[in-house]
Structure 1
Amino acid sequence: MGADARLEERDVSGLGEVDEPAFTGMAERHRRELHVHCYRMLGSFEDAEDTVQETFLRAWRRRETFQGRSTFRAWLYRIATNACLDLLARCRPEPASGGEVRWLQPYPDRLLDELPAGDADEPETLAVARETIELAYLAAVQHLAPRPRAVLILRDVLGWPAKEVAELLGDSVNSVNSALQRARAGMREHLPTERQDWTGGEEDAATRELVRRFTDACVVTDIPALAAMLRDDVRSSMPPTPGLFVGRDAVVTYWKESGFEQMTGLRGIATTVNRQPAVAFYHWNGQEGAYLPLTLDVLRITGGKITEILTFHDDRFQGLDLPGSLPADGTE
């Protein structure tokens, strides 16, 4: 954030006199970080989009209630958090269960690049920001009840003091601290082990090579080669399609029973989403004379093995900077 923006944040003591264009300009500076906050709360890119729009609408309508006791940014976060809680109460009164999160959607890396730069002198802060956007973390968060979920994200991700979180939620500090303990315990139940070995951020040569071999094996539907890349406790799912497969044998059995071995005409393009390696697969369509979007596999890699495959349908290609089709000659 530049000096002018910081000055604006500090000097705003009331918004009653601010016209709509000026208000919109102030709010838009925070759109991406608010969107990521709502995405962590909701797990759905589309629901986060709707909730940010609702946040800006509520903020404009309630602008006279802002008296400068906190920054404008913090005020927006308060409104966004409550908008998320309202959506969860309305649409998802029960959190995810059984390891499945059928509403989970990927987040484009190019949009994550729009977030304010972290402090290079605080590697722990950067690590938290990276880890808490990965799909395994987001899936675990969705298993928490809404209010403990909000407490966890506000305290552990954003670093808000317990007193401010209590004020936002209308709870006591003791209640917030208790909710945080429950949320952390819940996360430990649902997060995979060996988190320190996850891929994330910059991929190394070994990861790129594993992704290449995975892509090549998928294109020729070589299940034995794919099985050799999986860790024993690998997990696979395809939101929003029901089904969670845990363990190499279960995943391989599903591939065989689904007819994957008989598929032909596949092509794959390596990409990244949620700061994780991914492969976009296309399937040959003779009528169109081109390869058309099929699925997006997002991988979690630990210790040189694939430990999770989250597969998304072709409707997720839009907005991920992926080609809408691939020509027959193999050029993009």
Structure 2
Amino acid sequence: MSADTRAEELGVGGLGEIDEAGFSGLAERYRRELHVHCYRMLGSFEDAEDVVQETFLRAWRRRETCEGRSTFRAWLYRIATNACLDLLARSRPEPATGGEVRWLQPYPDRLLDELPAGSADEPEAVAVARETIELAYLVAVQHLAPRPRAVLILRDVLGRPAKEVAEILGDSVNSVNSALQRARAGMREHLPAERQDWTGGEQDAGTRELVRRYTDASVATDIGRVTALLRDDVRCSMPPTPGLFVGRDAVVKDWVDSGFEGMTGLRALPTSVNRQPAVAFYLWRQEEGAHLPLTIDVLRITGGAITEIVTFHADRFPRLGLPERLPADGTDQPPA
């Protein structure tokens, strides 16, 4: 019996008769998809975790309001969406500017794998699910005002009808349709026009080879080799550190200024984040006798070139399930 079927059988106001353990069992089935929904809204993995917890708390306290005209799942989405809007209204520190979103955090692919698999008969739905979790999409969404953002995600990502979205947000259908038009226009300003220009989709052999070359050149700290892999209009950021660098020359200058070229003792671990190729870098620490986390680069690749690098700090490694250290393998040498 599905969670929705169980909730519907309880009838209008029937959730008032369920105990806390039973309620938690129903709600937990939707934790991962609610977390991803809140992550799209907020751009922050940790904020999304807090909001999901708040959602379950609100849902338990208001369980008598889960009426038979909507499913338990839809009811939870209503609470979660409004909890996100409440958070955005009271605590978002600053608006997104340009292509920079300082609160952006990565989402582990291993947790995305917990979501229900898309049907092979619905390739468009599968593509949408993949694209709308990529960092380029997340950054663009963060430039929208909160309510149009919610409308866009509910309508275009989750495919909910305008009438249902209006009920979730307490708006009219006309208001929802108007907000959707504004949101789509806003997204067009921050995403390339064509799908193939901003997503690589499944990693093909060419993408894997490019990532390998980028990894090898980075470990060797060979700026010339890395530069050759970048598109002219490449973008580079490192949230939460301020700074967005646009264009190959600006990106390379930042690397030179930061002392990248003289760095030694690097190792790398290829991985994937937000359904994008990524490379986790570790730096040799003589006092530890091991390579410790340094940064992780998440890459966007288009037409055989790197078009964006989003670098996250070492504090993201545990969330992403990456090793805390890489032991010496006999070939490691401490920096000279």
Q: Structure 1 length as normaliser, TM-score?
A: 0.96
Provide the C-alpha distance between the structure 2 equivalents of 1:120 and 1:279, rounded to a whole number of angstroms: 29
Provide the C-alpha distance between the structure 1 equivalents of 2:215 and 2:63, rounded to a whole number of angstroms: 51
Provide the C-alpha distance between the structure 2 equivalents of 1:158 and 1:69, rounded to a whole number of angstroms: 19
Quickly say closer, same or farther: Cα 1:193–1:268, change in 2 above 3 A.
Answer: farther
Provide the C-alpha distance between the structure 1 equivalents of 2:139 and 2:252, rounded to a whole number of angstroms: 23
Deviation at 1:99, TM superposition (A): 1.4
Deviation at 1:12, TM superposition (A): 3.5
Q: Structure 2 length as normaliser, TM-score?
A: 0.95
Matching residue's letter, 1:150 = A
Whether the 8 Å CA contact 2:4–2:71 is kept in 1: the answer is: no
Residue of 10, 21, 31 corresponding to 1:12: 10
Deviation at 1:209, TM superposition (A): 0.6
Partner of 1:228: 228
Give the 3-state SS of the residue equivalent to 2:293 in structure 1.
strand
Following superposition of structure 1 onto structure 2, how do residues 79-94 of structure 1 map, counting pairs within 5 Å? 79-92=79-92, 94=94
Partner of 2:302: 302
Quickly say closer, same or farther: Cα 1:296–1:20, change in 2 above 3 A.
Answer: same
Unaligned runs of 5+ in 1: none
Provide the C-alpha distance between the structure 2 equivalents of 1:38 and 1:248, rounded to a whole number of angstroms: 34
Q: CA RMSD in A?
A: 1.4
Provide the C-alpha distance between the structure 2 equivalents of 1:221 and 1:57, rounded to a whole number of angstroms: 49
CA offsets 1:30-57 (integer angstroms, 9 cap, x no match): 0000000000000000000000000000
Partner of 1:22: 22
Unaligned runs of 5+ in 2: 332-336
Following superposition of structure 1 onto structure 2, how do residues 96-135 of structure 1 map, counting pairs within 5 Å? 96-135=96-135
Give the 3-state SS of the residue equivalent to 1:312 in structure 2.
strand
Provide the C-alpha distance between the structure 1 equivalents of 2:46 and 2:22, rounded to a whole number of angstroms: 26
Whether the 8 Å CA contact 1:42–1:84 is kept in 2: the answer is: yes
Sequence identity percentage? 81
Give the 3-state SS of the residue equivalent to 1:26 in structure 2.
helix
Provide the C-alpha distance between the structure 2 equivalents of 1:306 and 1:264, rounded to a whole number of angstroms: 24
Between stretches 255-264 and 36-45, larger displacement belongs to: 255-264
Quickly say closer, same or farther: Cα 1:9–1:64, change in 2 above 3 A.
Answer: closer
Whether the 8 Å CA contact 2:300–2:306 is kept in 1: the answer is: yes
Matching residue's letter, 1:7 = T
Deviation at 1:167, TM superposition (A): 1.4
Provide the C-alpha distance between the structure 2 equivalents of 1:12 and 1:31, rounded to a whole number of angstroms: 21
Matching residue's letter, 1:76 = L
Give the 3-state SS of the residue equivalent to 1:306 in structure 2.
strand
Partner of 1:208: 208
Give the 3-state SS of the residue equivalent to 2:17 in structure 1.
coil
Partner of 1:52: 52
Give the 3-state SS of the residue equivalent to 1:281 in structure 2.
strand
Matching residue's letter, 2:163 = K
Provide the C-alpha distance between the structure 1 equivalents of 2:323 and 2:17, rounded to a whole number of angstroms: 46
Give the 3-state SS of the residue equivalent to 1:103 in structure 2.
coil
Provide the C-alpha distance between the structure 1 equivalents of 2:40 and 2:264, rounded to a whole number of angstroms: 37
